Structure 1
Amino acid sequence: MTTTTARPETRPAPAAATPDGAAVRVDVAALENLLLGQYAQLRREARAITADPDFQKVEGLPMAEHRERVLHQLRRLEAEHDVLRAFPARHGGADDHGGSLARFEELVAADPSLQIKAGVQWGLFASAILHLGTEHHHDTFLPDAMHLRVPGAFAMTETGHGSDVASIGTTAEYDPASQEFVIHTPFRGAWKDYLGNAAVHGTAAVVFAQLVTAAPGQPKVNHGVHAFYVPIRDPQTHEFLPGVGGEDDGVKGGLNGIDNGRLHFDHVRVPRTNLLNRYGDVAPDGTYSSPIASPGRRFFTMLGTLVQGRVSLDGAAVNASKIALAIAVTYANQRRQFAGGGTDEVTLLDYGQHQRRLLPLVAETYAAAFAHEELLAAFDDVFSGRGDTPENREDLETLAAALKPTSTWGALRTIQTAREACGGQGFLAENRLTGLHADMDVYVTFEGDNTVLYQLVAKRLLADYAKSLKALQADRGDMARFVAERVADVALHRTPLIRAVQALGDLGDARRSVGQLREEQTQRDLLTDRVEAKVAQVAQALAPARKMSPDKAAALFNAHQHELIEAARAHAERVQWEAFTAGLERVEDPGTKQVLTWLRDLFGLTLVERDLAWYLVNGRLSAGRARTVTSYIERLLARLRPHAQDLVDAFGYGQEHLRAPISSGVEHERQEEARAYYRAQRASGDAPIPEKHLKG
């Protein structure tokens, strides 16, 4: 599919000069191919779907109509558009896990409600049956879930327990006499909540509950959270089945095309075989067994199989940022405001503050896009089985937990800034930015609250730090070799710790200072040292917890929670910078590579500038060098300004995807009409004289 460009044809392609004076240009088509990544063809196919008006969001549609429209779209996807790629070939899929997510992420351009409802049906409900169930479930339940004959809910979250899944209150107690599990919500806080498909469309649910059973002659034991396939509505009447109840969550701040609702269970019985028993099973007599002996490890293994939700949200958030920036930068390249000393008004993007607002976000979105491709590759490597090892699964979970918060928070910041940069036009629903922001809001909460996910990342960083210390203590005789090995470890999902980084002081020459800042290794050192020092500082602060009582240890941990979150954020940003840097190596065109290098530098130094107080307080930068960071950012903005339109055009979204009048070229036409009017006035001599030009 060929997309339509948002750039007015009357505006020539920009050129800028390198420091040595040579002109550079961006190869937009080649850069678009690079950004589309390894699943370029699948992404193009998905964008062709989102260009179909029947799949696109209708702003202002009443909630009930929006819900039915999205269900209709979902049924069309299943019937016509190859949405089952992630499922086994024997069930009509393609065993293509990465490709499947790449397609789903693109649906955000059509309607975020469609993207999320598709994720609920195939990424959560059907995938839970696939990954947590065994052959019986694959044959019995999976085909209907895949082909939407059974719309389903993913009933994990409870009103009283969101991110703390291990503490949910719903129980599934085994009755050996009938060989059934009794699903029960014992109190109001244990109601399942915020569930897509639960309010109206769902006829079954995968319900997570505390599995309670007793072996013959033994007391009851709670074996922790397990998943159960539970019918919830009569497929013909669509009424709740006996013992099942619920409520509609009603109007939300966004994503109103999804029928979110609540479910509760009053001693609902399901057959013993409805336990999705890949990681834990109950024999007819009530004896529990599991291939994973540790309850904690079993729990995290079960949840780890569902990591694809976080992966897809990361990708969707990046795409939402691309759409917002394509709209805002295009408008800023056409809209004029205030005379700049001449007869013409000034293009918005020629103002320094406008560049400051938008161009660093373009850089951040490029970094997030490159990082997402790495995450998608890691996900496919594990779920295809090619690299499915415990270590790789742990790395994948850590990487997803780092990037999902970073990109979703980044998307909200980007969309809001883009909306403000478009002035009153950005507030109009027809220009999509307000609706896109509302729909993206909840991305920071579901599939793991962002703050909780960063905390998981921080715990992994602390564990890596502890391992590094042990290795250092075991190898004190060869400190230099140890440090060199850690420096060389720049894998995206690991953090090299225990480095020896020199503080960057003044060199007495501002030009030399700038030259050092634009060096790749200097940026890597600054960003990596920030992670390592923050991890080391919080690790030292938490060290006494090992000898404390549990309550005092928890209090100490809580006192340093903010530092933990900041360490995780620094790690995630370093991951994005490394991914951007790796992406540069795949660029062949010299001009494009130069512009992307400036963009990478802008991203890296903006991160440093954002945390400049930390660098100064901790002696990593001198005051003089800190001033140089900001001055070089200003220089980069000026260099990148001529290429801004090329950089957002390379996202590959045409007007059929953006669907914002202000990005269609209409603003360019308005401006040209106004300029022609005033030129004609001046040429005719009929232009009135401004009062301030009258002589006294």
Structure 2
Amino acid sequence: MVDTASSTRAGTAAPGVSAPNADAAGDPAGGTPTAGTDTNVRIDVDLLAEHLLGRWAEDRRISRRLVLDPALHKVEGLTNHEHRVRAFDQLRILQQAGAIQRPYPPEFGGQDNHGGNLAAFEEITTADPSLQIKAGVQWGLFGSAVHHLGTERNHREFLPGIIDFSVPGCFAMTETGHGSDVQSIATSATYDPATQEFVVHTPFRGAWKDYIGNAALHGRAAVVFAKLVTRGVDHGVHAFYVPLRDEDGVFLPGVGGEDDGVKGGLNGIDNGRLHFDHVRVPRTNLLNRYGDVAEDGTYSSPIDSPGRRFFTMLGTLVQGRVSLDGAAVVAQKIGLQIALTYAMHRRQFPTDGGDEGVLLDYGRHQRRLIPRLATVFAQSFAHEQLLRTFDDVFSGRLDTPERREDLETQAAAFKSMSTWSALDTLQECREACGGAGFLAENRLTSLRADLDVYVTFEGDNTVLLQLVGKRLLTDFRKRAPRDAASTAKFVAAQVGAKLADASGVRRLGQTAKDRGSLAASVADLRDPTVQRALLAGRVDTMVTEIGVRIGSAGKDRARAAKLLNRSQHELIEAAKAHAELMQWDVFTAAVDEVAPGDTRRVLVWLRDLFALGLLEQHLEWYLVHGRLSAQRARAVSAYADRLIARLRPVVPQLLDSFGYQPGHVRAPIALGEEQARQDEAHAWFAAERAAGRLPEQEKKPRP
């Protein structure tokens, strides 16, 4: 990518926002507030915006244009019922606009465009997260299950009604009693060869399908996950198309349910519970891509292993996690655009010159928002990589077991990190806007409430990170030697590494190299090879320690299980560290795609700030393990502060690169309202001062 900042628009500051000054080195100017001087850094906003939009830029643009329609926007203050009705009606707008057909085969009006579908779908978050999730239930879960778990016979019978929205539906997997533990669900589908039907049954209250979108009110049919039993054999979890309600919205015989009621967020979605009392469905309602039952009850599957069959079926539904990752990134961009714009308008407390300073010129305010801006850039580029992996698999271009495993690992890791980050970022944005941030009209409280459940949607984040951790342990075992001599060398190397940590050899080397110079410490930390070595070293050390500990159990599986359970907290921390490393890697690759110039320079600052933020967050680990000297540890925070000051002047340009229009942001404090108040106050005081009408200030005698 070529940086043409000198010939294209040079980053437009928000109305009334002046770029602060900084010296040539980018250090904060003296005094309070800590702004900077104009560094003359000019990002090519169009170039960076295109980079952020990614491979499916046009699909995102189409979706962004669509969601400018006020009919799709969330209206604050609606009752639970009113919000549900509005969200349901909005789905028809999406369907009629052709916004949901992208992933389906051409014979059903689709484009086989899997990556573009999710890229466009994520942008609906700017309109209303309830709409995004309700659309996701209908076409991303219900429709996708039929599409990817069914065969041609299922497609012909069920997909048309799902796509044209004549059959609103549900994705009935989760049970009250088992949550993320799908393999242990109790709902069964027992085959009756006499009638060639499956009998779907919920044996007890804890087996009710729960938290199911569209179940309380709108769902006419559901893809129900149940244990397939035929000829007295349980073949594990399979998916079945089960009608729920008649045309008048009344439950069909044997089907029952309840309304989950008002939730902490996403109240445009009618979540509810479903149960089944010996409900009969035709044999052909089994979604039979990975398992089928003949008329006589004979079971067959292209995958012999029940475990591998189960995980393959669930793997086809990974797009829910992918889309949640993208939606969390979008929500953070909107939140940061609101909070940072407000911080560039809002004035508070007299400065050395007597005038009030804008909030974003204060060091602490910069510290609370600008590092989070760097993080959302990292997550945005990481999500683009995840989308590409997803499209490789679902398009069939690179649908290999290894690529599917990569997809599942990336989706679990990135979804966990971005959804947790969204809650943190939106809360910080809310607090950074003070009372204005607490007003519903400014969206921050609403966005945070709606995204709260994302951390447990499509798999609780903690459970998902265990999946990532187990992948890391599997890779470790593959690398670990198997013969006695090699094992002895391997163990000796680990002992040597621990001794180096404990003795401070690494710290001594850093101290000798730096010779007391903070500048030398900073120079080393700016080196991307040093950053990666520190991030990767933490992952490797953590995984190796856990792997060696569990390996000490030998063939004693019971002891190995106990050791794994005792190591669970460490394993999840290792999985987080691995996710952070992957984000750093993708961010660095994205930087490398941009030609030298100011745009790349700013991306490097953001990447470095992201890396230093991770080091600062885990500083205790690096000190305890001897990976950083005390001086290097101090340099981490010192250099982060310097980068934040450098980035302060280009914040308006970075926000421009998100590409969101006022109709996407829809927060008065970020659309000129606060600036108008400040201008009015400034003009009034100036006029009163010029007219000599301001009273004299009380002067207190000096002691």
Common fold: TM-score over 0.5: yes
Give matches, 1:603-622, under 5 Å.
603-622=610-629
Per-residue displacement from partner, 1:272-302 (whole Å, max 9, x unpaired)?
A: 1111111111111111111111110000000
8 Å contact from structure 1 (residues 18, 24) kept in 2? no
Q: What code does the residue aligned with 1:222 have?
A: D
Matched, 1:161 2:161: no
8 Å contact from structure 1 (residues 88, 94) kept in 2? yes
Which position in structure 2 is the counterpart of 1:571?
578
Matched, 1:336 2:343: no
8 Å contact from structure 1 (residues 232, 244) kept in 2? yes
Q: What code does the residue aligned with 1:647 have?
A: L
Aligned residues with identical type, % of pairs: 62
The 2-side partners of 1:280 and 1:20 are apart by 62
Which position in structure 2 is the counterpart of 1:445?
456
**Consecutive unaligned residues in structure 1, runs of 5 or more:** 215-219, 480-500
Indicate which of 517, 534, 541 corresponds to 2:525: 517
The 1-side partners of 2:616 and 2:270 are apart by 43
Indicate which of 155, 171, 185 corresponds to 1:138: 155
Matched, 1:625 2:632: yes
Indicate which of 14, 17, 30 corresponds to 1:11: 17
8 Å contact from structure 1 (residues 6, 330) kept in 2? no
8 Å contact from structure 2 (residues 201, 279) kept in 1? yes
Give matches, 1:118-133, under 5 Å.
118-133=135-150
The DSSP-based 3-state class of the residue aligned with 1:212 is: strand
The 1-side partners of 2:459 and 2:68 are apart by 31
Which position in structure 2 is the counterpart of 1:505?
510
8 Å contact from structure 1 (residues 6, 655) kept in 2? no
Which position in structure 2 is the counterpart of 1:222?
234
The 2-side partners of 1:692 and 1:607 are apart by 49
Indicate which of 671, 681, 685 corresponds to 1:674: 681
8 Å contact from structure 1 (residues 27, 589) kept in 2? no
| Alpha-carbon offset, residue 693 of structure 1 | 4.9
The DSSP-based 3-state class of the residue aligned with 1:606 is: helix
The DSSP-based 3-state class of the residue aligned with 1:269 is: strand
Which position in structure 1 is the counterpart of 2:196?
179
The 2-side partners of 1:558 and 1:163 are apart by 18
Q: How many residues align?
A: 667
Q: What's the TM-score once normalised by structure 1's chain length? A: 0.92
Which position in structure 1 is the counterpart of 2:669?
662
The 2-side partners of 1:420 and 1:10 are apart by 23
8 Å contact from structure 2 (residues 15, 672) kept in 1? no
Give matches, 1:62-81, under 5 Å.
62-81=79-98
The 2-side partners of 1:603 and 1:20 are apart by 18
Which position in structure 2 is the counterpart of 1:543?
551
Matched, 1:31 2:31: no
Which position in structure 2 is the counterpart of 1:57?
74
Q: What code does the residue aligned with 1:81 have?
A: G
Q: What code does the residue aligned with 1:274 have?
A: N
Give matches, 1:405-424, under 5 Å.
405-424=416-435
CA 1:533–1:77 in 2, change beyond 3 Å: closer, same or farther?
same
Per-residue displacement from partner, 1:446-504 (whole Å, max 9, x unpaired)?
A: 1111000000000000111111123999999999xxxxxxxxxxxxxxxxxxxxx9666
The 1-side partners of 2:383 and 2:285 are apart by 36
The 2-side partners of 1:472 and 1:425 are apart by 65
The DSSP-based 3-state class of the residue aligned with 1:207 is: strand
The DSSP-based 3-state class of the residue aligned with 2:55 is: helix
Matched, 1:208 2:225: yes
8 Å contact from structure 1 (residues 6, 664) kept in 2? no
Q: What code does the residue aligned with 1:523 have?
A: Q
The 1-side partners of 2:178 and 2:488 are apart by 50
**Consecutive unaligned residues in structure 2, runs of 5 or more:** 1-8, 28-38, 491-504
Per-residue displacement from partner, 1:418-465 (whole Å, max 9, x unpaired)?
A: 000000000000000000000000000011110000000000001111
The DSSP-based 3-state class of the residue aligned with 2:345 is: coil
The DSSP-based 3-state class of the residue aligned with 1:451 is: helix
The DSSP-based 3-state class of the residue aligned with 2:56 is: helix
8 Å contact from structure 1 (residues 250, 260) kept in 2? yes
8 Å contact from structure 2 (residues 506, 626) kept in 1? no
Which position in structure 2 is the counterpart of 1:531?
539
Q: CA RMSD in A?
A: 2.3
The 1-side partners of 2:311 and 2:580 are apart by 25
8 Å contact from structure 2 (residues 347, 678) kept in 1? yes
Once the two structures are overlaid, the 10-residue window that deviates more, 133-142 or 674-683, is 674-683
Which position in structure 1 is the counterpart of 2:657?
650
Once the two structures are overlaid, the 10-residue window that deviates more, 464-473 or 609-618, is 464-473
Which position in structure 1 is the counterpart of 2:36?
none
CA 1:364–1:262 in 2, change beyond 3 Å: closer, same or farther?
same
Which position in structure 1 is the counterpart of 2:496?
none
Once the two structures are overlaid, the 10-residue window that deviates more, 304-313 or 580-589, is 580-589
8 Å contact from structure 1 (residues 17, 23) kept in 2? no
Matched, 1:279 2:287: no
CA 1:633–1:42 in 2, change beyond 3 Å: closer, same or farther?
same
CA 1:395–1:549 in 2, change beyond 3 Å: closer, same or farther?
closer
Q: What code does the residue aligned with 2:459 have?
A: G
